[in-house]
Structure 1
């Protein structure tokens, strides 16, 4: 007896492909990466054809996220700079409405900090010389508007915010140690000057323009009524923080940068908690 070939398959006898996530849905579209059948609800557009949701997630994990020069996520828009500008303007608006009350409660006052009013170390950095004077806030906000976006894009949003706030704190600590009182964002602004100098050196930029800018502001520092203590404290703090961020090794960069910022914060806190202010805050100044 001779064997006979099997009969040809009948039309419709072959299984119709169904979506791998929705077995009740027929589909003839396959994922370009894994070739699993996918229905319209599971299709994700790709450069060529479509992919399934799982392959899209795997592909996104493989894509390296853009970073700022010294770590952190890349900054498309300087949101921290704008947030700081808005906070300063809002604080000034509060001064316009209640100048005496706001200055009395939130200005940097060494004796007040010594007696436990810690908030003055930061709140004073968002205040400026009260109305009708406008030059003080205009100069500081202009400097923040010019320097902020450049440094935020290089450092990343989180590191830039850390630089700004620690520089502001450094300026206030210097005011505290010398036993004076003041208001103004210049401690933070001078911290940005110090950071700009360090980062320009690190990246190999021409620093002559930076030196001219710093020189002009050094002259301003010694004008009557200006707190040179805040300028000095902010500049030194900003330079230290920027050096820590810029020269941290690539390996464990974030950990090293975090430890440096934390060490500076602890040092500033210890200065305030262990040392009394020198003399009494008899004179006020604007920073």
Structure 2
């Protein structure tokens, strides 16, 4: 005598498995291998995937996404600066690495690459007139990626590595990149405005000073301890004012612009937080460009 066929439902993904369980969302039968625990009942794999697609990604208090935790921008900044230093050393020889004077004789000399990209207002060398006022505006950007020797590079990249990952994790890649570039550009323009036209300067310190003050602003917004960062800032300011051949204007400019940018990023609130942050950064950029235009007009008049 044959048995009556089973009428028990089977898993929609495994037809050979009978089950009395079902997805509490779509009500399809599921086996124990397919079920995913939910607040109420169980969900099938398809409903779990659909829920993940419709779920908004987690954001920090400043709009940063999970991508900022990976530190791609911080790593990229260190890599670009290191590669530029290698190129500068290849073009300038051993003294471009160290032994060129400054900072107890540990800094390197200038090279054809630093001559090309450092901040320079207006000067004659090689029988030609060079400088930002002569139309070489790119110097205001390239100077933040150039260094006079390996020690100069290491000091700045240690700061980037120390605070960059933290800031990128809080702000996200795009906001962190904007902070770094605005601080570096702001410091270079300040050096252009206040230094002698024939006094060159370069280095990522314009940007790193902005990162240090930005960390203080971010920590204050999050009600976190700032004692270590304040001490770091004080030490760097002491170095700025006591060691020769350091661009005081560049460091202070990066500090002010970095602080202003961080304030915009930290204290822009919902709704439309991203729009407010972008608008604030755009205003800062316009002010920086205006200062450079005024300085150029003064040098050429």
Superposition TM-score, scaled by structure 1 size: 0.79
User: Residue in 2 aligned with 1:4?
Assistant: none
Determine which of 62, 67, 70 is the counterpart of 1:70. 62
Distance 1:205 1:52 in 2: 41
Q: Which of 1 and 2 has greater Rg?
A: 1
- Post-superposition CA distance 1:144-188 (Å, at most 9, x none): 111111111121221111100100000110111123321100000
Distance 2:298 2:232 in 1: 31
Gap regions ≥5 residues in structure 1: 1-10, 281-287
User: Residue in 1 aligned with 2:259?
Assistant: 239
Determine which of 101, 106, 118 is the counterpart of 2:117. 106
User: Residue in 1 aligned with 2:82?
Assistant: 89
Question: 1:36 Cα deviation (Å)?
Answer: 4.9
Are 1:255 and 2:275 counterparts? yes
Distance 1:163 1:144 in 2: 12
Higher relative contact order (CA 8 A, sep 6+): 1
Determine which of 250, 256, 274 is the counterpart of 1:230. 250
**Is the Cα–Cα contact under 8 Å of residues 78 and 152 in structure 1 kept in the other structure?**
yes
- Post-superposition CA distance 1:193-250 (Å, at most 9, x none): 2212222222222333222211111111121100011101100000000111111112
Distance 2:239 2:247 in 1: 10
- Provide closer, same or farther for how the CA distance between residues 253 and 18 of structure 1 changes in structure 2, counting only shifts above 3 A: same
Task: Give the CA RMSD over aligned residues.
Answer: 3.1
Distance 1:219 1:92 in 2: 26
Superposition TM-score, scaled by structure 2 size: 0.75
Secondary structure class of the residue paired with 1:94: helix
- Provide closer, same or farther for how the CA distance between residues 106 and 76 of structure 1 changes in structure 2, counting only shifts above 3 A: same
**Is the Cα–Cα contact under 8 Å of residues 126 and 185 in structure 1 kept in the other structure?**
yes
Distance 1:82 1:37 in 2: 48
Distance 1:274 1:56 in 2: 59
Distance 1:205 1:183 in 2: 33
**Is the Cα–Cα contact under 8 Å of residues 69 and 165 in structure 2 kept in the other structure?**
no
- Provide closer, same or farther for how the CA distance between residues 76 and 26 of structure 1 changes in structure 2, counting only shifts above 3 A: same
User: Residue in 2 aligned with 1:59?
Assistant: 51
**Is the Cα–Cα contact under 8 Å of residues 31 and 50 in structure 1 kept in the other structure?**
yes
User: Residue in 2 aligned with 1:157?
Assistant: 173
- Post-superposition CA distance 1:128-152 (Å, at most 9, x none): 00xxx42211110111111111111
**Is the Cα–Cα contact under 8 Å of residues 213 and 255 in structure 2 kept in the other structure?**
yes
Secondary structure class of the residue paired with 1:276: helix
What count of residue pairs does the alignment treat as equivalent? 261
Gap regions ≥5 residues in structure 2: 93-110, 123-130
**Is the Cα–Cα contact under 8 Å of residues 177 and 277 in structure 1 kept in the other structure?**
no
Are 1:141 and 2:157 counterparts? yes
User: Residue in 2 aligned with 1:202?
Assistant: 221
Distance 2:297 2:214 in 1: 27
